[in-house]
Amino acid sequence: MFPLSTANFPPKFTYVPTLIEANLGEIVFVNVTATDNNSFSFNVLNIPQGASFSSAGGLLNFTWNVTSSEKVKIYLTVCSIM
């Protein structure tokens, strides 16, 4: 008989906007959610100037004071904490 084991699957985003439209001088607030059976953390890559994020539980709060009219690609990740 083989020992019983449980698989560890990666966390899954439950809500992520695919496009955020913002205007110069605007403050943008975005909430992203994820779920998993284990602890996990969020990260924001290519974070634009004037932006910040915080997370608690399965919620990521992203705030951006838009200071440029350039288009920006922001990447969000969620990873298990082992």
pLDDT digits (tens, 9 = 90+) for 60-70: 999 999 999 99
Residue 68 lies in a domain: yes
Does pLDDT of 4 surpass 70? no
pLDDT surpassing 80 at residue 1: no
Residue 37 maps to a domain: yes
In a domain, 58, yes or no: yes
Structurally, the chain folds into a number of domains equal to 1
Average pLDDT value for the chain: 90
Range of the domain at 69: 25-80
Give a yes or no: residue 29 inside a domain. yes
pLDDT bucket at 2, cuts 50 / 70 / 90: low
User: Does a structural domain hold residue 6?
Assistant: no
- Asked if residue 61 belongs to a domain, the reply is yes
Which range is least confidently modeled, 1-5, 56-60, 71-75, 76-80? Answer: 1-5
| Contacts with 81 (C-beta within 8 Å, 6 or more apart), sequence order | 38, 39, 40, 41
